[in-house]
Structures are given as structure tokens and as C-alpha cells.
Amino acid sequence: MARFIYVVHVLPGRLRLRLPWLREHGAVANALAEGLLALEGMEEVEVRPFTGSVLCQHDPDVLETDVVVAAVKGFTGIDLVVRPGEEPPEEETLLEALVVGSDMARAVSRFAKGIDLEVLRATQGKVGLGVLTSLSFVAAGATKIIATRRIPTPDWFSLAWWAFATFNGSERAAINNTDAPVRGGAPESSPVGTRDEDGVHP
């Protein structure tokens, strides 16, 4: 994804930025927190590397918001700043992944299709990987029932997986017609920097 500085919101004496790429650069996060805290008029800085959130609380009479943003650009070497209301560059990449799948998912799919092709070649097109896998699970289940002479209760994670698989298969129309909240943020992790006086992170 393109690296950028996203201005989430601006209030007098309070500025929140988001740097999505920060989770992959922990050293930059620490240096950024220290550099911003050294600015005259800066009162508190919280940098959360995992979510890329950067919260700055400062004296608006001493330190202007544009100066803080300029300092972040200088410390990170990133020139692209996205203001509120503007479309972050990551949106296009994320939306494309939602349509065609993630890189990892496509790599796994390519690998599975290669195995499927070999199975079809070995059986002269009579049995594919899906059928072979299904029959293997049925055979394994039947063998266990015969060996133990009882039908075991499924584990909770097995039930959860089958619930998800059933929903994913039966509600495909709803899934395909639901917009993804691309801008939704993940729960924030422990910050790098200082805390509020009461120890609560805003």
C-alpha cells in the first residue's frame, strides 16, 4: 500500500493521525513519539504501532497543527498527507482485495488448484480434490464410530466452524450485497509514549 499520513480529526490542542504502515516499522514509531514530545508546546503523544494511530495533545497557543503535521512528515519521510474528507490511497487497494481476494488467499487457491489438477489427472477426470477430501472425512468419521462404537459430541470449535461454513454458503447473496466497512479500525493496542494523568487512553 502507498504510505501516507491520514489526518483523522483536528480539535484545538488535539490532533489524531493514522499511519497504516507504522505497524511494520516499530523503530519509526518510537523515534516519532520521542521527536514529537520534544516539540515546544507538545504536552502528550501516544503512538500505537499496531493500528498506526498517533494522538497529539498540545498547547494551541504555542504549537500549531500544521507544524505538528510537518514534523511528522519530517520524522517519517512521508510527504503524502490525506485530510479529512479525502479518500485514503489504501481504499483502492483494500477494495480490490475484497473483489479478487487477498494475495495470501489467491496463493493458497493456486496451490489447491494445482493439487486438484494432479488428482484429476491421476483419476482421469473422475474424482477431484473436493470429492476426495469429502470422502476421506466421511471414511475417517465412520472409522472412528466403528472403533469407539459411539457417536462423539463435536468440539465447540468444530461446531463454530460448521456454523460459519453454513452461513457462508447459505447466505452468499447477502454477503455479496453487503458493503465492507473499509475504513473500520481495529482495536487499538498499547501505545508508545505517555498516558493521560488518570492512566486512561482516549
Spatial separation of the C-alpha atoms in residues 79 and 82, rounded to whole Å: 10
Which residue from 19, 21, 45 is spatially nearest to 34, judged by alpha carbons?
Answer: 45
All structural domains of the chain with their residue ranges? 5-92, 101-176
Q: Can you name the residues that pair with 18 across neighbouring β-strands? A: 6, 53
CB 37 within 8 A of CB 67: no
Instruction: Write out the chain's pLDDT in tens, 202 residues.
Output: 567 888 989 999 999 999 888 888 878 888 899 999 999 999 999 999 888 899 999 999 999 999 999 999 999 888 888 887 776 666 556 656 666 677 788 788 888 888 888 888 888 888 888 888 888 888 888 888 888 888 878 788 888 887 888 887 777 777 777 766 655 444 444 445 544 443 434 4
One-character DSSP codes across 141-175: HHHHHHHHTS-PPPPHHHHHHHHHHHHHHHTHHHH
pLDDT of residue 141: 80
CATH 3.30.70.100 fits domain 5-92: yes
pLDDT of residue 104: 80
In this prediction the pTM is 0.47
pLDDT of residue 202: 41
